[in-house]
Chains A and B, each alone.
Chain A
Amino acid sequence: MVRLSSPQQLEGLRKSIVERKDRSKPCIALCVGTGCLAYGCTDILTAFKNEVEKNRLQDKVDIRATGCPGFCERGALLTIYPQGIFYQRVKMEDVPEIISETILKGNIIERLLYTDPNTGERYTKEADVPFYKRQQRLLLDSNNKIDPTSIEDYLAIGGYAAFAKALSHMKPEQIIQEIKRSGLRGRGGGGFPTGAKWESTREAHGDIKYVICNCDEGDPGAYMDRSLMEGNPHSVLEGMIIGAYAIGANLGYVYIRHEYPMAVENVTIAIKQAEELGLLGEDILGSGFGFKVKVSRGGGAFVCGESTALMASLEGKVGEPRAKYIHTSEKGLYNRPSDLNNVETWANIPHIILKGADWFNKIGTKGSKGTKIFSLVGKVKNTGLVEVPMGMTLREIVYDIGGGILGGNKFKAVQTGGPSGGFIPESLLDLPVDFDELTRVGSMMGSGAMIVTDENTCMVDMAKYFVGFLQEEACGKCLPCREGLKRMLEILTDITRGDGRKEDIELLERIAATLKDASLCALGGTAANPVMTTIRYFRDEYEAHINERRCPAGVCKELITYSIIDEKCPGCGLCVEPCPTKAITFVAKKKPVILNQKLCIKCGTCCDICKMKAVGVK
């Protein structure tokens, strides 16, 4: 490809790409995102290639490997263009039929369509599926329309047009004003206004400035950053280029956690392509503005997502936070002005520049504009990534999009904001979700993880889980966080073992207050949120553990026993062999098995195996 030397040439290239594309030509778009990898999509991709060759259709059908369109629960996912036919749960065996029936004859294969488990209705098109219908997919929509390793695909859907517009029609100050006016708040957790951050970095003194993309995504249960970086890396890069131009930065870093190899690979390819086209490097599009981007991998420490720790890690040092008396926008990486934004924040930028602040402003709530991607996971029927306008209620997200609770169980709480956030109970299901409302009820937006829990989740155990997580992940530099978390974990462990004392709840509350006031960084500062919300909304569960030595959800090992519910057990014997301690004895066919409590180590294997739900937990 030739190096472009003006925005006009970029438009020319785009036109020629679009003209070359035959829109009526069938295209099989298969998700090769990480979720679908677990469903064996690479083999399916190869099978499609072979089948197409076998039928000598190479020139008549395109096969496109795409990023994640969100509905990972239903993988492997497939969209057939131009009709937009949506197939789910696709397997190797289905490949020949899809070619012979749908591609060659235009017939729909009914069994591969999504069927609503609640109504039994079938849907042919992606957009009609209830999971997608209520979403507003500003950022995710392109994921299954492009091959993330093809800059041509990105250009064909209008990629880099926002940057060309910014470069040829807007001054850096104007760009910053536009972002400020849009009301965009950072998607990395705290919700800090993006425009203001850019402005202070622009105004900071220094010849060398940096922009950084935070793709550490340490929040367990969240994977929207991964999905964007893998599925549409150019959109993130375009945001960064616009930001660098507005701020006056010439070097950028993309910091990616090491658990995301495909994200590293795809963004590295994207950077190379953008360099070849002259969208990165010296004298971009003949404007005199130069900008380079480097990729750096994290080492798997949650605290490294924090801005100052991340920058320390980028300098090759131990990832410990420092006090932020001086903002990183003034003294960040190598003590130079640095602007750090989250992946999703960067991906929003091209849309705002292209369509304008007023357009963006109309989406969302008063204090939180635009859409937000949530990873809706846990005990919900339709799990995956959902992108909705800010302000949609929890109930709509969990029930209308998520399809309700798995296995007909009872809803208990939604956890948002990860280890910095909290649990939201059923009574607050009508809460409109935005930055401020979540904080108001004691939780947080965080990165957008939404973990749905049901009656089988123990809230004390969950509190212990998060404190344990944070205790392991904290850097240990400051005392309140180091000792406070350790003590909290001890108390919570005691409670889950049935050794809790009456005054423990109050003690937890006191430690929580200290952590909030005295921690150096936000990890310690918000660490008590999961504990405090579970105490606030599920105090009765704490009391059951402490006063009655009982775990109502049947989770805490020391307080439960497994037993066979004789009426439900037809003695199929499936659970006998796998029991590691031979605690289960086969009696005879059609007779319930016998479980020896003395031998049982409560590993739960029998419970996982039994399809008759004949293993009870109390």
Chain B
Amino acid sequence: MATKIQAIVDRYESDKGQLVSILQDIQTEYYYLPKESLEEVVKLLNVPMSQVYGVATFFKAFSLTPRGRHLIKVCLGTACYVRGANRVVDKMELDLGIKRKETTKDLRFTLETVNCVGCCALGPMVMIDDKYHGQMSSDKVSSLLAKYE
């Protein structure tokens, strides 16, 4: 892991100001922020653990616990909300048997909500991994989830 973190930090020329971007890249690599990776960042950037930990917990994008193979993000931005996005999340919770911010036991899915992914014209929007699914409604949820292993 150490060499991977080193490579990421090098990419940003060890610039402390790029901490958020560095953590983003680590998360892209491991789907979450493993504890050892944070310790590595502390060493390489020479910043206190409290700062790294503070940033990692302040921003919603980061997760300190392992996440599922597929990350579901249901948009609850205003445009999606007025078109019934809350019914979509409700149905997801029902189908998956978890609440938002949780991961299914078999690590298949993690369910999250976001505030606008910038495709408002097609709301309600659901993103699964990097794929956009527009014009969602509660009745389309089950068949969508079935497509993911």
Q: Residues of A at under 8 Å CB distance from B?
A: 34-35, 37-39, 72-73, 75, 217-223, 226-227, 258-261, 294, 296-302, 313-319, 375, 377-379, 383-384, 415, 418, 449, 451, 453, 457, 462, 465-466, 469, 473, 475, 578, 580, 603-605, 608-609
- A297 and B24 within 8 A (CB): yes
B118 CB contact (under 8 Å) in A39, A223, A453:
A223
Q: Across the interface, which residues of A come within 8 angstroms of B114, CB to CB?
A: 259, 300
Q: Across the interface, which residues of B come within 8 angstroms of A302, CB to CB?
A: 115
Given A258-B61, A318-B55, A449-B78: A221 touches B24 (CB 8 Å cut-off) = no
Q: Across the interface, which residues of B come within 8 angstroms of A37, CB to CB?
A: 119, 132
- B18 and A316 within 8 A (CB): yes
Distance in angstroms from A116 CB to nearest chain B CB is: 18
Interface size on B, residues (CB 8 A): 50
- In the complex, what residue of chain A is closest to B20 when comparing beta carbons? A299
- A296 and B121 within 8 A (CB): no
Distance in angstroms from B61 CB to nearest chain A CB is: 4
- In the complex, what residue of chain B is closest to A577 when comparing beta carbons? B142
- B82 and A608 within 8 A (CB): no
In the bound complex, what is the Cα–Cα distance between A315 and B20 (angstroms)?
A: 9
A221 CB contact (under 8 Å) in B16, B62, B90, B116:
B116
Q: Is B117 an interface residue (CB 8 A)?
A: yes
In the bound complex, what is the Cα–Cα distance between A45 and B121 (angstroms)?
A: 21
- B120 and A605 within 8 A (CB): no
Q: Residues of B at under 8 Å CB distance from A?
A: 16-21, 23-24, 45, 47, 51, 54-55, 58-62, 76-79, 81-84, 87, 90-91, 94-95, 114-123, 125, 130, 132-134, 137-139, 142
- A317 and B51 within 8 A (CB): yes
16 A–B pairs (Cβ distance < 8 Å), ordered by A: A34-B118, A220-B77, A297-B20, A299-B61, A301-B59, A313-B20, A319-B58, A377-B123, A415-B78, A449-B79, A449-B120, A462-B82, A578-B139, A604-B84, A608-B138, A608-B139
In the bound complex, what is the Cα–Cα distance between A34 and B120 (angstroms)?
A: 10
- B20 and A223 within 8 A (CB): no
- In the complex, what residue of chain B is closest to A37 when comparing beta carbons? B132
B134 CB contact (under 8 Å) in A38, A260, A451:
A38
- B60 and A300 within 8 A (CB): yes
Ranked nearest first, the 4 interchain pairs of A and B with the lowest CB-CB distance are: A299-B59, A220-B77, A316-B19, A72-B121
- A299 and B118 within 8 A (CB): no
- B120 and A377 within 8 A (CB): yes
- B54 and A453 within 8 A (CB): no
Q: Across the interface, which residues of A come within 8 angstroms of B91, CB to CB?
A: 580, 603, 605
- In the complex, what residue of chain A is closest to B61 when comparing beta carbons? A300
- B78 and A418 within 8 A (CB): yes
A35 CB contact (under 8 Å) in B51, B61, B119, B139:
B119
Distance in angstroms from A435 CB to nearest chain B CB is: 20
